[in-house]
Amino acid sequence: MTFNLRDKGAELWEKSPKPARVAIASSAMIFAICLPFLGGTFLNTPISSYEAVLVYPVGLFVLMALGLNIVVGKSGLLDLGYVAFFAIGAYTMAILGTTTSLNFWQILPIGIGLAMLSGVILGLPTLRLRGDYLAIVTLGFGEIVRIVALNTMSIGGPNGIANIPTPPKFLSLEYTLQNQKAYYWTVLFLIFMVIWMIRRLSSRRPGRAWESIRQDEDVADLMGVRILKYKIWAFAIGAAIAGAGGVVFASKSMFVAPEMFTLNTSILILACVVFGGMGNIWGVITGAAILAYLPERIRFISDARLLIFGLVLVIMMNVRADGILPRKKREKSLQS
């Protein structure tokens, strides 16, 4: 019998009265909002700028891991080319930001829309494939997007696109290189939105359909669940989230280039999902936060950094193969 943190947590959560839940949820949110001010504590990342690390990789990895979790964790579709949608969002921001007068806030929905559209276009022919075959096709797609960007001179080819405008002032929040807090809060807002969305969808019709597809696709099909439709929705929503992340990323780093969007990133995001606990949003958030933060925190040991990172992964997967907070359906989930 292993101690299951997820179950204990869920049990505690269910037992606590409403005010306590509100208090817990809001203090967690306040803690997340205040994170940029904790740079003076042990959390500080030597060498890299702490506030910048909070935006990328930490914030954006959490966001993307949540998106990929819908595809891999909820619906059981192994997507190895997830970074492609991130790239599409980033290039949308880069191209439209440098060639038109549209600002960040106007480009954000366009980037989300284009990423979503490419998710549907990729999904329509490929989502009939299963398991390993789907993984290989998506892996190919991820590489195609990168290589197309690399070879298209009109979008900078290998040089990428520079001088991407930062977002205009939002209320009194200024988006500058020195003040990364604004970016962090933007990402955090997106993360909150995504958590709300996943929680809503999970407990309703789409969530059940995804769950049934993940557990037994053939039976779901025979029970009348329109599996292709739901898989495409999962793909499109996952892509949209990565697209949003891409737009913020491009505007934050003010520069994009094809080598930012390699297979490594796809694998790393997938690692976040698996490490944290597939299918469980709190696990995925924890996993992504740790895997994104850790390499930056231990940057001072330079060369041994990735070795330790790998070691953590190996140990973790041996000790807790289901992730930090594994998926474990509570038996009373539908009791109102």
Partner 1 sequence: MKKILELKGVTMQFGGVTALDDVNLHVNEGEILALIGPNGAGKTTVFNVVTGVYKVTKGDIVFNGEISVVGKKRWQITEAGIARTFQNVRLFGEMTALENVITAGDVRSKSGFVGSLFGLPRSRREEKANKEKAMELLKFMGIDHVAHKLGRNLPYGDQRRLEIARALGTQPKLLLLDEPAAGFNPSEKVALAETIKKIRDAGYTILLIEHDMSLIMGISDRVVVLDFGSKIADDSPKVVQNDPRVIEAYLGVPADAS
Note the residues at the interface with partner 1 (CB under 8 A): 197, 200-201, 204-206, 208-209, 211-212, 215-216, 218-227, 233, 329, 331-335
Torsion angle of the four alpha carbons 200, 86, 148, 91, in this order, in degrees rounded to the nearest 10? 110
Query: Least Å distance between CB 134 and partner 1?
Result: 19
Query: Least Å distance between CB 21 and partner 1?
Result: 18
Query: Least Å distance between CB 119 and partner 1?
Result: 14
- Three-class secondary structure of residue 173 per DSSP: strand
141/286 Cα distance (integer angstroms): 28
Judged by beta carbon, residue 23 or residue 219, the one nearer partner 1 is: 219
Judged by beta carbon, residue 194 or residue 257, the one nearer partner 1 is: 194
Query: Least Å distance between CB 313 and partner 1?
Result: 26
- Three-class secondary structure of residue 224 per DSSP: coil
Among candidate residues 62, 22, 7, the one with its CA nearest the CA of residue 242 = 62
156/285 Cα distance (integer angstroms): 34
What is the helix (H) or strand (E) element at residue 177, kind and residue range? none
Judged by beta carbon, residue 184 or residue 210, the one nearer partner 1 is: 210
Query: Least Å distance between CB 203 and partner 1?
Result: 9
Judged by beta carbon, residue 63 or residue 93, the one nearer partner 1 is: 63
Long-range (24+ apart) CB contacts under 8 A made by 39-48 are: 43/297, 45/293, 45/296, 45/297, 45/299, 46/297, 46/299, 46/300, 47/299, 47/300, 48/296, 48/299
Query: Least Å distance between CB 220 and partner 1?
Result: 7
Judged by beta carbon, residue 69 or residue 266, the one nearer partner 1 is: 69
Judged by beta carbon, residue 13 or residue 37, the one nearer partner 1 is: 13
Judged by beta carbon, residue 296 or residue 322, the one nearer partner 1 is: 322
Query: Least Å distance between CB 68 and partner 1?
Result: 19
126/142 Cα distance (integer angstroms): 13
Query: Least Å distance between CB 332 and partner 1?
Result: 5
Long-range (24+ apart) CB contacts under 8 A made by 4-10 are: 4/326, 4/328, 5/324, 5/325, 6/277, 6/280, 6/282, 6/283, 6/325, 6/326, 6/327, 6/328, 7/328, 7/330, 9/282, 9/325, 10/328, 10/330
Judged by beta carbon, residue 130 or residue 204, the one nearer partner 1 is: 204
The residues with which 173 forms a beta bridge, in sequence order, are 170
